[in-house]
């Protein structure tokens, strides 16, 4: 991997490839119903760090993934993520007006459209992933099942339900970790797994290593989110800062304090690197992404 492109160049190339693929996989804005399709594209295109696609592409590179299959896996994960943000931001949940530096969907359009955008993006994600012709059918069914599990009540939706029920409660560190393993961690983990499975079947040891890596980066992602929410402004974050504290939501910072939270993020970054040891230099991109997740400023 000594001849590998600098991480920043690789990241920009993957983000551009993701944007191009999302543009192709989303319905055209002028296709009936035009308002819904326009709002779907408003939501998904031209914003976000694309962490989930970056993870899918990095994992795909490690396991020699088919180019179309890994692009589909990356876009499916990003569409599920985008749908979750649209619904999270609605008045019935977090009631937020700013996302990725622009008005949220229910503000830019209306609540009914935002609801339908989320529903349609979730369906679109499975349609896109199911179109992978370069993956053996049995493995593709496994990928579809993993995505469904990660998005459902045993994953992202379950984590959000716990989050909504936890406002004003004093959660233990263990309870907070469980919530975030579901809410954020499940979709980060499945992004890694889908990218790998776009390449080939994984043995038990490989699955364990990737799952441990994903566990560490999933928690690190949320710890850093909580630190940034407490220390950065809305313009930097592209979303409303200080909202968790204002809503009396339990966070790593509220439970551990700021300095211990930063130390925990660094500890999780090291754990992510250790989990990748069996893959050697070939896992360079996944290691760099662990660094990015912990060292980001927004």
Closest CA to 151 of 83, 93, 59: 83
Give pLDDT tens digits for 184-240: 999 999 999 999 999 999 999 999 999 999 999 999 999 999 999 888 776 666 666
pLDDT tens track, the chain, 298 positions: 556 899 999 999 999 999 999 999 999 999 999 999 999 999 999 878 999 999 999 999 999 999 999 999 999 999 999 999 999 899 998 888 888 889 899 998 999 999 999 999 999 999 999 999 999 999 999 999 999 999 999 999 999 999 989 888 888 999 999 999 999 999 999 999 999 999 999 999 999 999 999 999 999 999 999 999 888 776 666 666 666 666 677 899 999 999 999 999 999 999 999 999 999 999 999 999 999 999 988 7
List Cα–Cα distances, 206 to 55, 210, 241, 260, 283, in angstroms: 16, 6, 38, 31, 12
pTM of the model: 0.93
Closest CA to 264 of 246, 251, 277, 249: 251
Crossing angle of the two packed helices 284-295 and 51-62, in degrees rounded to 10? 160
Q: What pLDDT shows up at residue 236?
A: 66
Fold of domain 7-295:
Farnesyl Diphosphate Synthase (1.10.600)
Q: Residue 103 forms beta bridges with which residues?
A: 98
Distance of alpha carbon 199 from alpha carbon 206, whole angstroms: 13
Dihedral sign, Cα of residue 108, residue 111, residue 112, residue 117: positive
């Amino acid at each position: 991997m000594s001849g590998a492109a600098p991480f920043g160049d690789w990241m920009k190339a993957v983000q551009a490839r993701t944007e191009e693929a999302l543009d192709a996989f989303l319905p055209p804005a002028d296709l009936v119903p035009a308002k819904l399709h326009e709002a779907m594209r408003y939501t998904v295109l031209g914003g976000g760090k694309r962490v989930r696609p970056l993870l899918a592409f990095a994992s795909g590179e490690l396991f020699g993934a088919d180019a179309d299959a890994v692009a589909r896996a990356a876009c499916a994960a990003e569409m599920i993520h985008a749908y979750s943000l649209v619904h999270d931001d609605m008045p019935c949940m977090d009631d937020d007006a700013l996302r990725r530096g622009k008005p949220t969907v229910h503000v830019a359009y209306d609540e009914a459209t935002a609801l339908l955008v989320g529903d349609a993006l979730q369906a679109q994600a499975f349609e896109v992933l199911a179109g992978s012709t370069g993956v053996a059918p049995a493995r593709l069914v496994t990928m579809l099942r993993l995505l469904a599990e990660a998005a459902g009540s045993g994953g992202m939706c379950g984590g959000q339900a716990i989050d909504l029920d936890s406002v004003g409660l004093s959660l233990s560190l263990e309870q907070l970790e469980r919530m975030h393993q579901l809410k954020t961690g499940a979709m980060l983990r499945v992004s890694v797994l889908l990218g790998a499975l776009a390449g080939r079947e994984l043995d038990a040891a490989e699955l364990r290593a990737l799952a441990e890596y994903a566990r560490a980066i999933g928690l690190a992602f949320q710890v850093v989110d909580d630190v940034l929410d407490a220390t950065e402004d809305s313009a930097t974050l592209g979303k409303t800062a200080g909202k968790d504290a204002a809503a009396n939501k339990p966070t790593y910072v509220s439970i551990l304090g700021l300095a211990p939270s930063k130390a925990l993020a660094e500890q999780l970054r090291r754990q992510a690197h250790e989990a990748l040891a069996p893959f050697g230099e070939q896992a360079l991109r996944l290691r760099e992404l662990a660094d990015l997740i912990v060292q980001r400023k927004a």
